[in-house]
Structure 1
Amino acid sequence: MRADPHIVATWVRGWTLARETTPPTPYKGGLRVDVGWPEQKARYVFPAVVPAIGELASTINEPWVFLKACASPDAMQPILTTGWAIQRPGYMMTLAGSMGDFERPEGYALDVIEGPISIVRALDPAGEAAAIGRVVVVDGFAIYDRIETRPEHRRRGLARAVMKALETIGREQGAVRGVLVATPEGRALYESLGWELHLSLIHI
């Protein structure tokens, strides 16, 4: 299987908008993002294993620069030099339809901020954020980012409620398809909401 380069590039563009970093720039079949964070200076993202990954692995000698590719660990390992380690994979997922309707869990309120970066928070009875998520729309794709639920509030349907509110915002802003990268733990949740796996995203 091979990732769709357009979907990967769209996700990267959305990620940079949601994280308010500099826009991505093309780099030898992939994209480079100058993130500028203390623990992530830059990241390179590729839709497949390409020679540029091996070149970067052999020439980068500074910390906090990450290489990411839609590929299996077995495909990536042979081109890596000493000092690089494969991290937990992410799962690039897409949604063509709707996630359905979900009731907001009793006792929680949704706080919605719409804009170029739309934010939905589920607030507990004390007004504290129990769950949060963000969405940006790029070329008809809703890019979901940083969907999080505090541990003590999990398994109550908050993530579903937040995701549905974000989906509604995305559709109002012209999105017809969704894209996100899930953690191994989050993959099962998104699959239960109708999301489909596009490809694994390997982080090194």
Structure 2
Amino acid sequence: MYAIVEIAGQQFKVAKDQKIYVNRLAEDEGANVSFDKVLLADDNGNVTLGAPAIDGALVGAKVVKHLRGDKVIVFKKKRRKGYKKKNGHRQSLTQLEIVDISLSGKKKESKKEDSKKTEAAKDASKKESKTSENQASDANGFLKNIGTAKKEDADNLKEINGIGPAYEKRLNEVGIFTYEQISKLKEADMEELSSIDGITREKIESDEWVKQAKALLKN
């Protein structure tokens, strides 16, 4: 079985127990490493092609040693300029020994990753739920003053200049759905509302939300 794998920006045809030289890796000598950018695998004539990499495939290897390659001479010359420059370069390399080629090694790993993602999603959901509960609790103060409303009775709050889709969503989240509720906002309510949703009292007053809401109620 052999595979075409990308390692440190280069492509190699590898087989088990083969030793290859790649651009210097950060791992220590003796460390085990794995590479998941497997572009092609041939298992006794059964060829699998990636798009671009094969999902679930892994090439395992062991870092044998770090070394430097043969010296390469770089000579530069400019005609009629009297310019000549000669430099030598030795590339830093890592010798790897291929330990294993697997077409399913990544699937086990992805299950662990999926489990972690699921747990993270649950934690995020719990935090969001707590945030919503806290907002609702904080909103009770001014909702007692302006009254409550149901979502099905909601007015188009975007008709009020200064309230766009984002602000309408924030207002809905704390239970404000109607022109009548906004028309009853007092100074204390505006202060409390701004602390919850980031909508400043100055904005509410300068855009005259209360006045506009009262006018819309008359229409």
Which TM-score tier does this pair reach, normalised by the shorter chain?
under 0.3
Larger Rg belongs to:
2
Which structure has more relative contact order (CA 8 Å, sep 6+)? It is 1
TM-score normalised by the chain length of structure 1: 0.20
TM-score normalised by the chain length of structure 2: 0.19
